[in-house]
């Protein structure tokens, strides 16, 4: 695990804790909490707390799992894994590398209770769920990026 991955996981866990604390604060405490956050904290919080839904269906009906926004580095890694997946049609050994990358990404971006990192490492999880989950996060991040660009205004 690289230093960036460790830092990303630490920030993800920290964000989960902060999100829960924030939800339980009273209005006055929320104002104080927000005043104490730096701009960097708020930008990172936005990445970690924006939920991207993925609707799935099984024999019991429809259900939803959630990811957070992807960082720039995670988007780049997603594109790389997707390219490996495409290449694996001619070079089957690349499939394992692509799937490993998708699993690592899913572990980092999953914010659904009960889908802890060890879930995504399980050989029992279907590849289409892992790959679809990450690619859905990419599509959702791209959509949110478009919305976000429109919200920036000069003062």
Residues 23-33 pLDDT 10s? 666 776 766 76
pLDDT at residue 50, as a whole number = 78
**Interval 118-145: pLDDT, tens:** 999 999 999 999 999 999 999 999 888 7
DSSP one-letter string for 78-107:
HHHHHHHHHHTTT-THHHHHHHHHHHHHHH
pLDDT digits (tens, 9 = 90+) for 52-100: 999 999 899 999 999 988 988 999 999 999 999 999 999 999 999 999 9
- Rounded distance between C-alpha atoms, residue 136 and residue 132, angstroms: 6
Q: Higher pLDDT residue, 16 or 144?
A: 144
- Mean pLDDT along residues 100-122: 93
* pLDDT given for residue 26 in this prediction: 73
Decide which of 102 and 2 is more confident.
Answer: 102
Confidence check: pLDDT of 21 > 90: no
**Angle 92-74-97 (CA atoms, 0-180°, nearest 5)?**
15
- Other beta carbons less than 10 A from residue 48's beta carbon: 21
Q: Find residue 110's DSSP bridge partners.
A: 67
Q: Is the pLDDT of residue 43 over 80?
A: no
Task: Take residue 41 and report the two structure tokens written for it.
Answer: 């904290």
Structure tokens at 9: 């996981």
Predicted model pTM: 0.69
Query: What is the arithmetic mean of pLDDT over 10-25?
Result: 66
């Amino acid at each position: 695990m690289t230093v960036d991955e460790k830092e990303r996981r630490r920030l993800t866990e920290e964000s989960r804790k902060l999100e829960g604390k924030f939800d339980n604060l009273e209005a006055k405490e929320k104002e104080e909490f927000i005043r104490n956050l730096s701009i960097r904290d708020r930008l990172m919080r936005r990445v970690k707390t924006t939920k991207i839904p993925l609707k799935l269906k099984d024999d019991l009906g429809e259900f939803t799992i959630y990811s957070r926004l992807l960082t720039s580095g995670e988007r780049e890694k997603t594109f790389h894994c997707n390219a490996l997946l495409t290449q694996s049609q001619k070079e089957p050994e690349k499939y394992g590398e692509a799937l490993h990358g998708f699993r690592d990404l899913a572990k980092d971006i999953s914010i659904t209770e009960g889908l802890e990192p060890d879930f995504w490492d399980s050989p029992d999880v279907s590849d289409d769920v892992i790959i679809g989950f990450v690619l859905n996060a990419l599509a959702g991040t791209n959509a949110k990026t478009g919305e976000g660009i429109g919200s920036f205004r000069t003062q």
